[in-house]
Structure 1
Amino acid sequence: MLNDFSNRTKIVRAAMELAETEGWNAVSLHQIAERSGLSLADLRREFDSKSDILRAFQREVDSAVLDKMGAPDLDQPAKDRLLDAIMTRFEVMAPYRGALRRIMKDLGTRPGEAGQLLPSALAAQSWMMEAAGISSTGPVGRVKVAGLTGVYGYALRYWLEDESPGYEKTMALLDRKLTKGDEALSRMSSACGCVSKMICCWVPGKKRKDEESAPPPPPPSSASPDMNGAPSGY
């Protein structure tokens, strides 16, 4: 990742290097341009702001993960495929862990700038779901993306400090969080189904429509009992 020699790549790489040594809040656009060997005008042609540079880094990570993942094995449980996608993401970001640690710390004091990254964070997790063969579209897909973004953010902070071999502790934490999220989504889906049925029962228009579409009752049989219990026709 970030191995080509385009101006965009030079700028992103310089920004991450400076973030690790200087801290994200202290780094200026001028410093990033100087570190990348470009002019400030060159930097402006590529990016609007420091947040824009971070969004470009996120997109680079997305692409690298998708390249590594390939086609998902749909015979595996969906949770396991998603776990694999996120752990692959951590593997891709490992060379930049020091920079990310400083960036996360500094953005914690600047919620406005952190908020600018939320749309790209949601987009990143949408791509992770698609990499795992899980649809991220429609109302249910959007709920899953939002939930996964929260789980990922929690796991990311843990991963930044995890020194266990192969990030085993992060994997165990992520497995637990994804299991709980899957259970919560199942309960929500069941609740939505019950609510939908209740609405159908109580909405008068829906009830009349169902009654009108119901087939008429069969004609009475000659052996049907009359009001006194005797067969009709006697």
Structure 2
Amino acid sequence: MTDLPPSDQPLGDQTAERDALLLAVLPHVAFDGWTRQALRLGAEDAGFGLDEVAVLVPGGIAALSDHLHDWADRAMVARLAEEGEAFESLRVREKIARAVTVRLDLLLPYRDAVRRDLARRALRPLSRRGLHQLHRTVDAMWRAAGDRSTDINYYSKRGLLAGVYASTLLVWLDDRSEGQEITGAFLERRIGEVLAFGRQISGLKRLGDLAEAPFRLAARLREGRGAAAP
């Protein structure tokens, strides 16, 4: 079984057990999709009884697919922290590129499961949960890169990175090049394009206006208010 990354969750909250269940289920998702069958087989592999599974993921396989994003975010942050000075010494754009690369590398063994998850979500309208997950991912990347902004740049940075990450993810899904060289080259181009565009707009004001609304909504959802952005 893949080694679990250090968790930033309190001990005893069952995060480690939920991670173990997820990583046991993912290989089955590649064949059976995000189904009860995959959940049952993975639970058997990991040694969990049905009663334990019901406690770990009350929402069933759908809840476990959501947990994939949480696991990937935490694993990414842990991996970047392990890199220490090698990561901290990078420029900001290099840190962001590294964060995206690390997250995709962690998901590489489970690419088919990620593909099936994206296909399943594409059949449903953009949900509050999907916004929340996307916000958490790009926020984790920026925070790992040292960003602590609280003004309009908070939203513009995360909005721009969401576009970069989403487009890079689509390329990555079909990238069979050695070391995902195609994905890496695409990521560098996208980051370069975004930075060039940003420099054309003084203070990123217009970018902030364009990107702010969905991520202001996601931030409010995270805080439990659930109100729409103005």
- How many Å apart are 1:47 and its aligned residue? 2.3
Flag structure 1 segments of 5+ consecutive residues without an equivalent: 194-234
1:76-131, CA deviations, whole angstroms, 9 ceiling, x for partnerless residues?
A: 3311121111111111111111211222223222335x662221121111111122
State the one-letter code of the partner of 1:11: L
- Percent pairwise identity: 22
Does the 8 Å contact 1:83/1:174 carry over to 2? yes
1:111 aligns with 2:125: yes
Other-structure match for 1:97: 111
Task: Give the alignment of 1:206-217 within 5 angstroms.
Answer: none
* 1:138 aligned residue: 151
Contact conserved, 1:19 with 1:103, CA < 8 A, in 2? no
Distance 1:69 1:128, change over 3 A: same
Query: Residue 117 of structure 1 aligns to a residue in which SS?
Result: helix
Distance 1:42 1:166, change over 3 A: same
2:196 and 2:118 map into 1 onto residues whose CA distance is: 29
Q: Secondary structure at the match of 1:111?
A: coil
Structure 1 pair 51–140 and aligned structure 2 pair: CA distance change class (3 A): farther
Name the aligned partner's letter for residue 182 of structure 1: L
- Corresponding position of 1:64: 75
CA distance in 2, matches of 1:109, 1:15: 22
Would the alpha carbon gap of residues 61 and 85 (structure 1) be closer, same or farther in structure 2, given more than 3 Å must change?
same
CA distance in 1, matches of 2:176, 2:41: 33
Residues 165-184 of structure 1 correspond to what in structure 2 (within 5 A)?
165-184=178-197
Instruction: Give the C-alpha shift of residue 14 in structure 1.
Output: 3.8
* Residues in 1 aligned to 2:70 and 2:117: alpha-carbon distance in whole angstroms: 17
- Unaligned segments of structure 2, at least 5 residues: 5-13, 207-230
Residue-by-residue CA offset, 1:136-170 (whole Å, 9 max, x unaligned): 54321122112211211111111011011111111
Q: How many residues align?
A: 189
Distance 1:123 1:151, change over 3 A: same
Q: What are the equivalent positions in structure 2 for 1:10-25 lying under 5 Å apart?
A: 10-24=20-34
Aligned with 1:156 (options 166, 169, 179): 169
- Conserved? CA contact 1:14–1:36, under 8 Å: yes
Cα 1:21/1:69, change in 2 over 3 Å: same
Does 2:16 match 1:9? Answer: no
Q: Indicate conservation of the 8 Å contact 2:138/2:162, yes or no.
A: yes
Amino acid in structure 2 at the alignment position of 1:35:
G
Length-normalised TM-score, structure 2: 0.70
Residues 136 and 145, structure 1, Cα contact 8 Å, conserved in 2: no
Q: For the structure 1 residues 167 and 189, does the alpha-carbon distance in structure 2 shift closer, same or farther, using more than 3 Å as the test?
A: same
Q: Report Cα offsets for 1:177-232 as digits up to 9, x if no partner.
A: 11122223333344649xxxxxxxxxxxxxxxxxxxxxxxxxxxxxxxxxxxxxxx
Q: Give 2:97's aligned residue.
A: 83
2:43 maps to: 36
Report the alpha carbon displacement of residue 54 of structure 1 after superposing the two structures with TM. Answer: 2.4
Is the contact made by 1:17 and 1:99 (CA closer than 8 Å) also made in structure 2? yes
Give the counterpart letter for 2:145 in structure 1.
A
Q: How far, CA to CA, are the matches of 2:32 and 2:90 in structure 1?
A: 43
Which of 54, 58, 64 is matched with 1:53 structurally? 64
Are the aligned partners of 1:15 and 1:32 in contact in 2 as well (CA < 8 Å)? yes
TM value normalised by structure 1: 0.69
